[in-house]
Structure 1
């Protein structure tokens, strides 16, 4: 190539690339802001769309930060040159930052800057545009925030950005949520009926509240009334006056649709008659005759015939109007295939939700039953073997809970403190139970009224002692970190980890007590004393010693129950009183002195209480009252409980 051509080619290349460079610069953030400067300075909800579209389509990495600052009203325009800056107060003026580069752009006095204040409608448009950037933001919190924003205000223009972000999403949880949100958006705003129906059918396997809300939104209907059902309308159902709505409501709909004349009330008739009194009469009807219903009707009919008032609507007129019109509900969605798919999907979702709600109810009932079992099993042993009505049983539960609290003050490791507190609570309450039996109970056998009064007095004394030592303020008994949270099965069913632990503890104690009673010598002696104390004594068993150990065992189990209960309930001096009534009900309903009976009683009361609370969740006191009434009725038909036991406790 001749050297003389090189300068010419270089000049030609500059002439070609210069316009392209200038064009590239014009598509940047700064150039777009200057091109739409009036719209940036005074944005409007209806006209800001072109500006937002240009900014999003520019691909400039500074656009997301500008949109956020614009929505937060941190963008200012300098009057001298019309340029836009970020500005923050700096002394008497403002420190400026370049919107494109983020670098400092000097300062300006406040008089030279105008703050851009987009209204609420514009800010919502900006927020929608920001979502497109946030969906692919490196920070997972920003992506989740974008999904929350879409869920709050879904629209058709969010489908494509959401689908584009699904391809690059790496987090499994966020990816699953994006796919579900894509399905919900497609169900509501899909491009074709086929796409919407497919998305709706896919949603039938979901359980979440937001999915149900989408399906209900598709099935939104409006009320209508006409002489015949409108052709081409997507009718949800036809309403029958007197069945689906009252006749008064139906006629009111006719009046509001200008299809019937309003019914005149007595007050309106009276006012019309009063306003048309002339010379002591109303159209020839003397005022004296207006005191009767017939007189008022005759006067009003005369006014209507003269055209002064509208004719009165009779019962026959109302019946005729109702019979000549149809009342219906019409889907806002025009396509019947889409609403049919939504109805089937919602029915499937509700069926599955009902099944999971039943499981959740069962888990709650099982959890409550395990708590009542732990609280009552010690009482069942003492009451069943010894026939002692121990009103201080709840205070042994309280002693166990306070033991756990004290151990946690000494051992800060919650797991280790729990391991230490469980056997320590058993030993302390076992010793307290033995002391109480030796000092008080042993002198009151076969005197139930005196035993009840004595243990009730001990209960009050132990409560006051706890108040003197620990005060009246509730004390925390903190569970280990591995018991925090809950086992969430899905959006409907779940159970707290601490309740699972209490259930496991109750199961362990069930197995342990069954082993002691059925596989050990002490258990054999306890059962012998329970069934026939005289015969047991003749066989060399010391009933007095068995009574002492049995009472101590029941008290020790109550102490362990106190730790379990204290992990989720407040530890106070009165906490035992909250469980003494339920414990006695559990023992009486299940059958005194029988482990299986106590288990059955705890299950029955747990299910019953949860069932009543489910039917009347706003009134816990009423639920407890109904439960007590049911128990009273139950023991009228089965006074010995579910699992009747023969022996001293049963009155044999």
Structure 2
């Protein structure tokens, strides 16, 4: 019975021994101390040796990078898992073992992850290939570059493009052949990607070098002259001190203080005090004290000047190859030019987005003032009413898309009705009395704000956009615009088309144009000017409500939301041309564009941007008091 048990035990040990990886075992035994205390600078060859031993080695590396590799008391590497520990070389379970976890630093983990990524570049799983590319982009080296070049062909076109780009970037960073690096830089010249610019930056780093002549073989970026703007004299002296070519300079005041402190028997350093009015004599006296060890060593003015004249000052590239740095400088210049153009495009998109918001907010003002000559100070509160209408709808309808679809026409209807009520109760009784109308609508504005505070409170209310409007349209690292702003731009175009259709193709539009041109003649033709004025005021108010919904999608809904846009709306109408839809469009474009340009010049001070904008409007109306596109007919005579 005893022999049978021994035979069974031997039979169990045979497969365990077969599981052992002799190559991995040899590498581990020879480098156990480095595995226990690795260094990022020296661990690379060891990681490559472990990875070359096969699947067991890759599993060990994965555990090491994931901080699940441990060391037992008897000096064996173990992989620590939820079910206990197993031998990292043989895979044999280690019951009862409590290995001490090895915790490599981030640099060592980066080297390990790069080695693992190189092995996963040809994995059948696209997700693993993508993860491998992510790891290589974070910590690739020459070995990773060679592995990437061997796996450039990829069935996934997106991953194939990523591999090709990463290969160019790693070539720039790690390829020992300068010709290949120059070719890679020239291939990507003009690219504005952050990864490409990050790859160029180390090549163009310079260090200060001071020497009598340019060192042979040094890749000199430029030579500087002490005293110029690029190298002030004080900075040049500091470089001489840093490189041990000059003692710290001594200021005249410090020199006088040191000499005064060492006067003995009417002399300092062997020179009579009466002779110390001469700067050269003071220098000799200080040097004598310095030789005696009574004062700290310091450079006199004459010594500092001599050191400046005896040395030349250079900025030297850290990259030794001039061809590489020349290509990198050219590529960076092209990238800066293209980046400037793309920044201008991005600024233009922002300006277009802002212009569409101003257009939506101002079109109602343009309509009412063009027909009725009424300055409606409560226009901002119609914007506020539209935003609160959308918020109320959203609290009742959970589906964001459906709530937006319902809110748009409902906001128009609510504000249209409010505009009609305001006209019937206030505006019509103050016809041809602009000052009284302005004061009355200003009072209505204050009343509506207070009413909103009583109903909804003073806390800002969020108006959440649908999921399909939460993202952004991104062209590259520079050009991008939020989906909400694109939707507002489209909405502005739709309302422009709708307004033109109403004004050009409907009876209401015909009557509005008739009343606008000549209300007396229109009345004699059977048109009721009072009814047209009421409908026009309601239409302008309804469009303001639509604008409120659009603005509420990216701004917090408060009782003051309309006041934030009322000034810009009036400026848009005045600059564009009162009562002209095309003038309103032109004014919104001009105001939006100038606002973004001024903000880009002074991004940290929005108040200054608004101030400059108002100054521009004041100057503009001095030259074109009737706006960019003035209205014809009756408006031209007023």
TM norm structure 1: 0.86
Query: Which residue of the partner structure matches residue 13 of structure 2?
Result: none
In structure 1, distance between residues paired with 2:20 and 2:609 = 73
1:171 to 137, 156, 172: 156
Query: Which residue of the partner structure matches residue 72 of structure 2?
Result: 78
Classify the secondary structure of the residue corresponding to 2:465.
coil
Q: CA deviation at 1:86?
A: 3.0
In structure 2, distance between residues paired with 1:84 and 1:259 = 53
Query: Which residue of the partner structure matches residue 429 of structure 1?
Result: 415
Q: CA deviation at 1:297?
A: 7.3
The count of aligned residue pairs is: 618
Q: CA deviation at 1:594?
A: 0.7
Q: CA deviation at 1:553?
A: 0.7
In structure 2, distance between residues paired with 1:48 and 1:464 = 70
Query: Which residue of the partner structure matches residue 85 of structure 2?
Result: 96
Classify the secondary structure of the residue corresponding to 2:599.
helix
Matched, 1:326 2:312: yes
In structure 2, distance between residues paired with 1:520 and 1:256 = 83
Classify the secondary structure of the residue corresponding to 2:95.
strand
Classify the secondary structure of the residue corresponding to 1:237.
strand
Classify the secondary structure of the residue corresponding to 1:166.
coil
Contact 1:517 1:527 survives alignment (8 Å): yes
Classify the secondary structure of the residue corresponding to 1:446.
coil
Q: CA deviation at 1:502?
A: 1.2
Structure 1 residues 114 and 294, CA gap change in structure 2 (3 angstroms): same
Classify the secondary structure of the residue corresponding to 1:362.
helix
1:541 to 504, 513, 527: 527
In structure 2, distance between residues paired with 1:98 and 1:252 = 58
Contact 1:304 1:312 survives alignment (8 Å): no
TM norm structure 2: 0.87
1:56 to 43, 48, 51: 51
Gapped regions of structure 2 (runs ≥ 5): 1-15
In structure 2, distance between residues paired with 1:22 and 1:609 = 76
Classify the secondary structure of the residue corresponding to 1:593.
coil
1:480 to 466, 483, 488: 466
In structure 2, distance between residues paired with 1:319 and 1:44 = 46
For residues 293-324 of structure 1, what are the alpha-carbon distances to aligned partners after superposition, in whole Å with 9 as ceiling and x for unaligned?
9478755544446756779744x876665455
Structure 1 residues 32 and 154, CA gap change in structure 2 (3 angstroms): closer
Structure 1 residues 117 and 416, CA gap change in structure 2 (3 angstroms): closer
Structure 1 residues 296 and 355, CA gap change in structure 2 (3 angstroms): closer
For residues 152-191 of structure 1, what are the alpha-carbon distances to aligned partners after superposition, in whole Å with 9 as ceiling and x for unaligned?
3343232112223433x44333332222111011112223
Contact 1:52 1:129 survives alignment (8 Å): yes
Contact 2:351 2:593 survives alignment (8 Å): yes
Query: Which residue of the partner structure matches residue 366 of structure 1?
Result: 352
2:60 to 66, 72, 79: 66
Classify the secondary structure of the residue corresponding to 1:524.
helix
In structure 2, distance between residues paired with 1:452 and 1:521 = 30
In structure 2, distance between residues paired with 1:281 and 1:584 = 82
In structure 1, distance between residues paired with 2:358 and 2:41 = 63
Q: Cα RMSD between the aligned structures? A: 3.2
Q: CA deviation at 1:388?
A: 1.7
1:631 to 606, 614, 617: 617
Matched, 1:236 2:221: yes
1:505 to 491, 516, 528: 491
In structure 2, distance between residues paired with 1:71 and 1:485 = 35
Q: CA deviation at 1:203?
A: 1.1
Query: Which residue of the partner structure matches residue 329 of structure 2?
Result: 343
Structure 1 residues 532 and 119, CA gap change in structure 2 (3 angstroms): closer
In structure 2, distance between residues paired with 1:496 and 1:562 = 18
Query: Which residue of the partner structure matches residue 189 of structure 2?
Result: 204
Q: CA deviation at 1:335?
A: 1.9
1:584 to 550, 556, 570: 570
Matched, 1:190 2:175: yes
In structure 1, distance between residues paired with 2:128 and 2:20 = 30
Contact 1:74 1:86 survives alignment (8 Å): yes
Q: CA deviation at 1:611?
A: 0.7
In structure 2, distance between residues paired with 1:351 and 1:437 = 55
In structure 1, distance between residues paired with 2:42 and 2:471 = 49
Contact 2:249 2:298 survives alignment (8 Å): no
Query: Which residue of the partner structure matches residue 444 of structure 2?
Result: 458
Classify the secondary structure of the residue corresponding to 1:107.
coil
In structure 1, distance between residues paired with 2:389 and 2:149 = 57
Structure 1 window deviating more from structure 2 (542-551 vs 473-482): it is 473-482
Contact 1:387 1:648 survives alignment (8 Å): no
Query: Which residue of the partner structure matches residue 10 of structure 2?
Result: none
Classify the secondary structure of the residue corresponding to 1:106.
coil
Contact 1:592 1:650 survives alignment (8 Å): no
In structure 1, distance between residues paired with 2:593 and 2:552 = 22
For residues 486-514 of structure 1, what are the alpha-carbon distances to aligned partners after superposition, in whole Å with 9 as ceiling and x for unaligned?
22222321222222221111111112212
In structure 2, distance between residues paired with 1:226 and 1:473 = 67
Matched, 1:384 2:373: no
Q: CA deviation at 1:38?
A: 4.1
